[in-house]
A and B are shown apart, each in its own frame.
Chain A
Amino acid sequence: MSDIAAEGPIPGDAQPHQGLRGAPSYLTAEHGLAAWFLTTDHKRIALLYAAALTVFFFIGGAGAVAIRMELFTPQADLLSADGYNRMFTLHGTVMVWFFLVPSIPNTFGNFLLPLMIGARDLAFPRLNLFSWYLFIGAGALLVYALVAGGVDTGWTFYTPFSTAYSQSYVMAAALAVVLVGFSSIATGVNFIATVHMLRAPGMTWFRLPLLVWALYGTSLVIVLATPVLTLVLLLIVAERAFGLPIFDPAYGGDPLLFQHLFWFYSHPAVYIMILPSFGVVSELVTCFSRRQVFGYTFMVYAILWIAVVGFLVWGHHMFVSGQSLYANIVFSFLSFIIAVPSAIKVFNWTFTLYRGQITFDAPMLYALGFIGLFTLGGLTGLFLASVPIDVHVTDTYFVVAHFHFIMVGGAVSAFYGGLHFWWPKITGRMYPDVWARFAAVLMFFGFCFTFFPQFIMGFLGMPRRYQVYPPEFQIWHVLSSSGAVLLACAYLLPMGYLAWSLIWGDRAEEDPWKATGLEWRTSSPPPRDNFRTMPAVDTGPYFYHPDKEGPRHDEPEAHQNQGRET
């Protein structure tokens, strides 16, 4: 142990380099509106994205509030059937494409990817800014569609309803999603090129932090899956605008072809939404248990495995569509196959905790909550991958609960965990830890309270997308709506104390969590060019204790930082 500590470049921590050494941070380097809206600094663009995403999180959240209020009683109280359709479409469309898909990649990914690999910026800084403007343009178009009267097709835009029957603003919404897809693709191309071309000296592929690997895998899926969504939505636009009957059964067109193409994107999109969370949780779990990640290489292979096999399972959304039994069995089998790498990750996080020096800081609470909720969401995914059970629970609240456990319990928890973990680095301020722990616990319980009842009522037969229901389901809906109040508080609370910390919070140190990643080897907040001098890397990530040596239990482990300044 002492040998390694002596050999290590900066054993222990980075205290000697506290402070800014005179250079202004990226926040204070330039002033004025133009310095923000025309910036090519990946860190500022990350904040631009964060601001836009917050707005859309509120819009999508408002849709959820309307849904949960309506469902409090079995009768239609607040909304007409048509209004209810528009509300859940708003909620789904906004949350999927304007919050979840860009959430972690475009905020933390944008901010951290160059820092974690020791680069000055992303490979194409102007493309990065352009993608933000595409996002804003798409968002404006979507808001127009919603304000003008909304969309009633559900976020899935199924034909022939979306092409022949819907009287709502399908075209504007579809074009908005096409545009936001271009924004995603631009980000994906940028991330892949950055990881390939801009790694610091010594940062080999198998020394990359797992968040970088996760963003890399996500970007691959984004680049290869999104164009198919673009295409299929353009076909809907062609049919609505110009009467080109591609999916029209009256002329022999095949509406199911739409579903195949849509899910060819939208199942990989599930992994676009959850893979970055895997990366975030790997960073948090290792740091707050002071352990090397268990099975680093298999964590990497699991990410790539998910990215590839994610393209081969779309048919499990169509078990009741009348596709052949043979296809059902193949897609069912492949859906079980893709559960394996997810399980590998859960087991590896658990083994990482084993014999670790665990502390329950707020980011860790979010990460532990993630592991539990993601496990439940993943296991119920196996229920749904089994054809007989899926036939029973198709289009019920069982499905709704399942994907909310992954998307909300998983992805949003990880987003908040990451937000607390990197907040000191991004803003240079510490938040009040007690409040943060309280919010993390509240989010876990609020979430379970909201969505666990939906498993039960779904299994009992409560269908999704109806605003009236038989009275026997009311108890579960009341539980769910009440939980949603807690969940809303848990989402709003951090916004309050994090904003408070911007003014009254303590100044953050360079490395408040004693973490090993390169992003902590620079000031908080970092300077415009990220590092005072370009870093060099000598080791893999997560050396929170000496390699090939068991953890100690009497005193805190001496850790070895991944890189050093040259």
Chain B
Amino acid sequence: MSGGQEALREPWDSLRRQREAASFGTWLFLGSEALLFGGLMMAFAVNRVLHGDAFAAAGHETNVVYGTVNTLVLLTSSLTMAVGAEAARAELRKLALVGLSLTLVFALAFLIIKGFEWRDDFRQHLFPGPNFKLQESAARIFFAFYWVMTGLHGLHVTGGIAVIGWITWQAWTGQRALRSPAFEAVALYWHLVDIVWVFLYPLLYLGGRA
């Protein structure tokens, strides 16, 4: 039970209860996030039904290589996050720090790859505007969703990097006890970021290539 008491906060009497609450609260927040992305995917689905051909043609223009590599990177980061969080709970300090740091590396790699992809998309005039590449007008709606979905997901990745970086730093310097419920809560959030991408990847990259 070493490190248990320093992780305990008001208004909790026991660390077990506090940990349950942190996970439960995070799950509630994830429910909220599910509705956020769910609404977006719903709107995407409606437009895909309305403009099937244009969406297929536009989906063909996305960069599937970048998308697939990023899928692998993000899935791997979820693995290292799970290892880091479980190791923290078991108070295996070294393994926890390695897992968390690798997660940070993968998360940053995801954003960097995404940045290259966005740059290529811009160069190919895939941002809806005056010189838009495609003829079908509804293709602009597909790419509107593309930019909103990847942008919103990118914001979530950025937020994830901030909190993972913060708790990793605290664990590194010893300011945060390894038994703190924060590791599990952040891991849950990170898995959601991963799962959202698992939905975005087929919608945006594979839809036009069936």
Residues of A near any B CB (own CB < 8 A) = 40, 114, 119-125, 127, 185, 188-190, 192-193, 196-198, 223-228, 230-232, 234-235, 238-239, 242-246, 248, 250-254, 257, 261, 264
Contact = CB atoms under 8 A, between A and B. Distances in A.
B33 A243 contact: no
B180 to A, nearest CB: 14
Interface of B: 10-11, 17, 20-21, 24-25, 28-29, 31-33, 35-36, 39-40, 42-43, 46-47, 50-51, 54, 128-129, 137-138, 140-141, 143-145, 147-148, 151-152
A228 B29 contact: no
B36 A227 contact: yes
The 6 closest A-B pairs by CB, nearest first: A244-B144, A227-B36, A120-B11, A121-B11, A251-B137, A252-B138
A311 B104 CA distance: 38
Contacts of A231: 36, 39-40, 43
Nearest to A256: B46
A232 B39 contact: yes
Contacts of B36: 227-228, 230-231
A255 to B, nearest CB: 12
B148 A197 contact: no
Contact of A227 (B33, B129, B144, B147): B33
19 contacts: A121-B10, A122-B11, A123-B21, A125-B10, A185-B32, A193-B25, A196-B24, A227-B33, A227-B36, A228-B36, A228-B39, A230-B36, A231-B43, A232-B39, A239-B144, A244-B148, A252-B51, A253-B47, A254-B46
Nearest to B29: A189
Given A193-B24, A238-B151, A244-B144, 7 more contacts: A124-B21, A185-B32, A239-B144, A244-B148, A257-B47, A261-B42, A264-B39
Contacts of B51: 252
A451 to B, nearest CB: 34
B139 to A, nearest CB: 9
B31 A119 contact: no
Given A235-B148, A238-B144, A197 B43 contact: no
A233 to B, nearest CB: 11
A223 to B, nearest CB: 5
B141 A253 contact: yes
Nearest to B46: A257
Residue in B25, B32, B36, B42 with the greatest tally of chain A CB atoms within 10 Å: B32
Nearest to A182: B32
A120 B140 CA distance: 54
Contact of B11 (A119, A228, A238, A250): A119
B35 A225 contact: yes
Contact of B25 (A190, A227, A230): A190
A224 B31 CA distance: 7
Contacts of A261: 39, 42-43
A241 to B, nearest CB: 11
Contacts of A122: 11
Contacts of A190: 25
A189 B28 contact: yes
A252 B141 CA distance: 8
A422 B33 CA distance: 35
A244 B152 CA distance: 14
A197 B24 contact: yes
A246 B147 CA distance: 11
B21 A193 contact: yes
Contacts of A123: 11, 21, 25
Contacts of B29: 185, 189, 223
B11 A245 contact: no
Contacts of A235: 43, 148
Contacts of B145: 246
A196 B24 CA distance: 9
Nearest to B139: A251
Contacts of A238: 144, 147-148, 151
Contact of A245 (B39, B50, B141, B152): B141
A243 B152 CA distance: 16
A120 B10 contact: yes
A192 B144 contact: no
Contacts of B24: 193, 196-197
A125 B11 contact: yes
Nearest to A225: B35
Nearest to B146: A244
A338 B20 CA distance: 34
B196 to A, nearest CB: 13
Nearest to B138: A252
Nearest to B147: A244
A122 B9 CA distance: 12
A232 B129 CA distance: 21
B42 to A, nearest CB: 8
B56 to A, nearest CB: 14
Given A227-B39, A234-B152, A264-B39, A124 B25 contact: yes
A227 B11 CA distance: 28
B11 A224 contact: no
Contacts of A243: 128-129
Contacts of B144: 238-239, 244-246
Max chain B Cβ within 10 angstroms of own Cβ: one of A119, A127, A185: A185
A257 B43 contact: yes
B35 A228 contact: yes
Contacts of B137: 250-252
A473 to B, nearest CB: 40
A178 B128 CA distance: 24
Nearest to A261: B39
Given A238-B144, A253-B47, A253-B141, A197 B10 contact: no
Contacts of A120: 10-11
B141 A40 contact: no
Contacts of B141: 245-246, 248, 251-253
A244 B142 CA distance: 10
Contacts of B42: 261
A90 to B, nearest CB: 27
B148 A192 contact: no
A250 B137 CA distance: 8
B31 to A, nearest CB: 6
Given A40-B10, A235-B148, A226 B20 contact: no
Contacts of B11: 114, 119-123, 125, 198
Contact of A242 (B31, B33, B35, B147): B147
A119 B21 CA distance: 14
Nearest to A42: B11
B10 A224 contact: no
Nearest to B23: A193
A397 B152 CA distance: 39
Contacts of B32: 185, 188-189, 223-224, 226-227
A232 B46 CA distance: 14
B175 to A, nearest CB: 16
B28 A252 contact: no
Nearest to A119: B11
